[in-house]
Structure 1
């Protein structure tokens, strides 16, 4: 009787290949990584900092850290989880160092969909303002959990990895944040379902 021994499959995950290429000094791999995840990283950085310039700085710092740390990436998590973790910690460090001005409502309106009618734009602006005010009443750790779960689509385990805390802590922060967000929106006369 013959026993077949299987050979380990070659790891062909495109993200893992990119990281290996970056570790080998391939700058094109970094450009591909940015093309794949840059918008998502920027969106998270912007939500944390409230400033376009600060978000751009955070993303640039994140990509530099990813470039330098590519060889040390163990592959225990998805690449996006690793990158969002870097963004999270870089943004918090930046917020500790500087008081950042938020983008103005006019700047946000300039970036809004040009095809939207004035009524829709005004309503969207009011919803955004209400949500921003409500989120501003939460602590940074509670805002981060909401952002990572609902906007970035991470699992609770991935959020725990990004925030470097137990999954149970993520669950309790998420539950607390959802209740407080609903309350803050209600105080402004909004239902969470109408804003989110």
Structure 2
């Protein structure tokens, strides 16, 4: 069942309705779904992988997997966590294949609280992390501070980097992070708490000489 793009307004339809239409043969519904998540999912993958080329590859691989598994999707569930579960798994596979660490983008605004889904506070991840630690010398430039934060983030264990990206950059709710990472809800909360604490510890140990006396 193919519909022309003019015969149906896809914009107000839910993700679940779109995937159901696609399973019935409506190719435009899949195109609408891809367009809907193009910017959001690509941004997530770019922050996860640290490379636009890698993010593009994994984005395409993710939607190929959605295409192949669309008929298995249970439409009484939300599609977004399922989509991000596939994307996160594909990103981890990419990192393993290429034996590289992901370099998190640190300049995106963060939400008022992790997983809240609310509007952003305007603070960046750099601001958030520095608020958890002793402040460095004010004479340092913003770029120097970002480089310092990035160095510490890159040294965190992968499971801690993952939860920071999902919580502070992508603003997923805790239950959605749990589904995307395939771990219990309590594990998500403990990992996020540990990640922030670990960051603060490593920040102080690594850059103690830059602090004001």
Instruction: Name the TM-score class by shorter chain.
Output: 0.7 to 0.9
Aligned to 1:161: 179
What RMSD, in angstroms, separates the aligned Cα atoms of the two structures? 2.7
Q: Is residue 156–residue 167 contact of structure 1 (8 Å, CA) maintained in 2?
A: yes
> Is the counterpart of residue 188 in structure 1 residue 207 in structure 2?
yes
Q: Deviations over 1:28-85 (max 9, x none)?
A: 2222112211122112211222111111000000011111211111145422211111
Aligned mates of 1:91, 1:147 — CA distance in 2: 12
Deviations 1:129-156 (A, max 9, x none): 2332121111111111111111111111
Is there any run of 5+ residues in structure 1 with no aligned partner, and where?
Answer: 1-11, 109-121, 192-196
TM-score with structure 2 length normalisation? 0.67
Partner of 2:170: 152
1:135 to 144, 153, 156: 153
Aligned length: 163
Q: How far did 1:184 drift? A: 3.3
> Shift in Å at residue 126 of structure 1?
3.5
**Could you tell me which residue of structure 2 aligns to residue 176 of structure 1?**
194
* 1-structure distance, mates of 2:33, 2:141: 36
User: Counting helix residues as a fraction of each chain, which structure ranks higher?
Assistant: 1
Structure 1-normalised TM-score? 0.72
